Amino acid sequence: MAQEYLPAPSNVRLADLMKEHNISQPELAKEIGCSKSTISRFISGAKGTLTHEQVLKIARLFNVSTDFLLGETNIPDRKNYDIAELGLSVEAAKNLYTGRVNTEVVNLLLENARFAELTYRISQYFDDTFASGIAAQNAMLTTLSTLLRTRVKTPEAAKAAKDISLRRKPVYQGDLDNIEMYFMAAVKEIKKGIGSHYAEQEAMSKKVAEKMFTELTKGQDVQHPTITAEQLTDAMLDSVSGMEGATPEALEQLRSGLLGILQSAAERENAHEADE
């Protein structure tokens, strides 16, 4: 959870930040390119303001948002970063702001500790950190196997040479196994944190169906209720009539389609019973 400060005007907030970071007025003035008197007047509350550029420089110096510095929020975390500060390529940033990737999923992954570790595992896979070691080990095993097979010509040596040869590993398999393990662990952890709406939706659907059945069979013999296709269609339409986009025209089209399906199903059922 982000640290939250008490409400304060911008001059008090700046004074608090300077004290927290042990920066004097002359030092701050030098950092943002203004006179000490400008800083002094601003902090004291006397007439005098900071320029937009100076506010931005102070926010970057203390790694806080401009909204926090100006007293508009009590949470210091920055919300706006340059692409270069984040280490993103222009193409990566473009994929984010054009919606080509799901930013909600990206956020969940970046906030997950296992995913952070996964990025380092992938980096090691790309630069052959572990693969080079396995390749060297495989080369050594190949040499040993060859020496045993060609210089010690006994059945035991031939078997040992074969066993040693089998100990060689695919160069990248270990990396790929680790990447898969960390990725699946991260995704499962995120899914667990989000929770599943499936059970909730299933319970809601069951409740709606039970209520629908109760309404349709009201006053009837519960063991042998009679529900027409028209009644069932109207009940189903009633359950979705409050949804966005459920215009009278759309509901009428849906009613026509549902009624046709239910009537056809009833006719097939009646024909099947007649055949029996």
The answer to whether residues 26 and 59 belong to one domain is yes
Kindly state whether residue 25 falls inside one of the protein's structural domains: yes
The answer to whether residues 56 and 126 belong to one domain is no
Mean pLDDT across the chain, nearest whole number? 81
Burial class (CB in 10 A: 0-12, 13-18, 19+), 23: middle
Residue 189 vs residue 214, higher pLDDT: 189
Q: How confident is the model at residue 1 (pLDDT cuts 50, 70, 90)?
A: very low
pLDDT of 242 reads: 73
The answer to whether residues 167 and 235 belong to one domain is no
Domain containing residue 121: 115-194
The answer to whether residues 101 and 165 belong to one domain is no
Q: How confident is the model at residue 32 (pLDDT cuts 50, 70, 90)?
A: very high
Q: 126, 172 in Cβ contact below 8 A?
A: no
Of 131, 163, 194, the last residue of a domain is: 194
Tokens of 124: 């090691």
Kindly state whether residue 37 falls inside one of the protein's structural domains: yes
The answer to whether residues 73 and 123 belong to one domain is no
Dist. CA 148–CA 136, nearest whole Å = 19
Number of folded domains that form the chain: 4
Q: Concatenated DSSP letters for 43-69?
A: HHT-S----HHHHHHHHHHHT--HHHH
* Percentage of residues in the chain having pLDDT higher than 90: 20
Kindly state whether residue 3 falls inside one of the protein's structural domains: no
Lowest-confidence region among 174-178, 190-194, 214-218 = 214-218
Planar angle of CA 196, 201, 202, nearest 5 degrees: 105
The answer to whether residues 189 and 120 belong to one domain is yes
Q: What DSSP designation does 23 have?
A: -
Residue 136 vs residue 94, higher pLDDT: 94
Dist. CA 84–CA 60, nearest whole Å = 14
Q: Which of 114, 250, 249 is nearest to 193 (CA)?
A: 114
User: What is residue 234's three-state secondary structure?
Assistant: helix
Kindly state whether residue 262 falls inside one of the protein's structural domains: yes
pLDDT of 178 reads: 86
Of 156, 171, 194, the last residue of a domain is: 194
pLDDT digits (tens, 9 = 90+) for 67-92: 899 888 888 887 777 787 788 888 98
pLDDT of 184 reads: 93
Lowest-confidence region among 7-21, 69-83, 100-114 = 69-83
pLDDT mean over 203-222: 62
Residue 39 vs residue 166, higher pLDDT: 39
Tokens of 27: 């030092």
The answer to whether residues 208 and 189 belong to one domain is no
pLDDT digits (tens, 9 = 90+) for 118-130: 998 899 888 887 7
User: What is residue 245's three-state secondary structure?
Assistant: coil
pLDDT of 200 reads: 56
Kindly state whether residue 246 falls inside one of the protein's structural domains: yes
Kindly state whether residue 5 falls inside one of the protein's structural domains: no
Kindly state whether residue 4 falls inside one of the protein's structural domains: no
Q: Which of 19, 62, 24, 16 is nearest to 40 (CA)?
A: 24
The answer to whether residues 17 and 48 belong to one domain is yes
Of 194, 215, 231, the last residue of a domain is: 194
